[in-house]
Structure 1
């Protein structure tokens, strides 16, 4: 009796890059993420949302998580069969944890808007310790 061959799940893709804690490298992280997601065949909606999430988390790592002589790390994990992308940004400052501040009514205030964007674009986000002294901010995005 012939049976159909079992369908194999699409493999999980992983990308990791260590980057200097500079504004230029925060921008580079965004460009690397977009390039990598396109090479994996990720959809445009997921790629655009991930671009914003990577930009915000990388900028936060450079502005708030910077420690002299230490880099930050970008990790992307795409699970096509599960329809999920996990974005992780690890920095050296585990003592400074991210949090969303209440909306500021000062329209000229330019800071503090990144994490609300991440929260709006991701299914969920969190922060976990990265021993010995760092932290990893993670965001999970689902494909539409």
Structure 2
């Protein structure tokens, strides 16, 4: 009888396989913000890519930990990854708002900008997860 891999082993494997995606998008955001105007083009692309990268990470995290959380069809990790990605996007927007309030920056208080960012986070996640599902069903 095979022993399942340790929790730490799975965490390290998931980090190696999937953590590069959100870290990469964040690095591009931080570096690109130095040379590219944030609006109107860079920020939407980063939110879409960030949603896809975050969903990629969460999908691999959930799939890797199925030994501990129970096996599931491919649909459950996809739905959990989408939900967690939306949660991260919402937390990010809340953080942006709180920083804007603290710095008294009225430019970041736009409800339309926040809604657009959340929609793009969700669209990036949905696009990536749809691709993963179609790839898995082949």
Q: Classify the TM-score, shorter chain.
A: 0.3 to 0.5
Bigger fraction of residues in strand: 1
Higher relative contact order (CA 8 A, sep 6+): 2
| TM-score computed with the length of structure 1 as normaliser | 0.33
